[in-house]
Amino acid sequence: MNKIKLNAAHDHDACIRSALTRAESLCQKRGVRLTRLRKKILELIWQSHSPLGAYDLMDLLQASSDRERVAPPTVYRSLDFLLENDLIHKVHSLNAFVGCNNPLHKHSDALFICSNCGFTDEVHSATIQQAINLSASQNRFSVKSQVLEVLGLCENCR
């Protein structure tokens, strides 16, 4: 798979640029609007590979050069838009959001979250998916969505 090896020294500006370009072309293809605010929020979330909570996001928005007051419901609506379009993931265990590195992939795999630095990596694994499917069918359970968050230490923090 085209998994990029990320480490402390990687060119993160390139990550941000490609995430924003990807988001623009995806929204265009889907005929949905990546408004200035939605794009700004996506960019703030992509600031790092660590999940960002909604309140941190609002602080950052206000501190950003635009200096505009954005009401919390507006921020939440933008987050919903980004979630619906698979541009970000909600990290349920941290109640925070992280950028998706592969919005076209069927979202079914695991997030590996470093409990020390917050680095969150999205792992696409056929093995994990097969295990969930098998287990679901053994339990006559039909899977609608799944959240798999694994906490531990990243390569740099081990």
Cβ closest to Zn ion, residue 22 vs residue 39: 22
Compute the distance between CA of residue 65 and CA of residue 1 in angstroms, rounded to an integer. Answer: 38
Q: How many C-beta atoms surround the C-beta of residue 17 within 10 A?
A: 13
Could you say whether residue 119 binds Zn ion (CB under 5 A)?
yes
The site map against Zn ion for 75-114 (x = CB under 5 A) is -------------------------x-------------x
Judge whether 90 and 97 are in contact, CB under 8 Å: yes
CB of 113 vs Zn ion, minimal distance in Å:
9
CB of 16 vs Zn ion, minimal distance in Å:
7
Could you say whether residue 117 binds Zn ion (CB under 5 A)?
yes
Cα-based angle 155, 51, 120 (whole degrees, multiple of 5):
25
Cβ closest to Zn ion, residue 15 vs residue 23: 15
Q: Is 111 helix (H, G, I), strand (E, B) or coil?
A: strand
| CA neighbor of 84 nearest in space, from 122, 136, 27 | 27
Compute the distance between CA of residue 120 and CA of residue 90 in angstroms, rounded to an integer. Answer: 11
Cα-based angle 101, 104, 107 (whole degrees, multiple of 5):
75
**The one among 15, 42, 87, 96 contacting Zn ion by CB under 5 A:** 15
Task: Using the rule CB under 5 A, give the single segment among 24-32, 52-60, 137-145, 150-158 that binds Zn ion.
Answer: 150-158
**The one among 25, 62, 64, 116 contacting Zn ion by CB under 5 A:** 116
CB of 143 vs Zn ion, minimal distance in Å:
17
CA dihedral 149, 147, 109, 36 (to 10 degrees): -90
Could you say whether residue 134 binds Zn ion (CB under 5 A)?
no
> Rule CB under 5 A: which residues touch Zn ion?
12, 15, 100, 114, 116-117, 119, 122, 154, 157
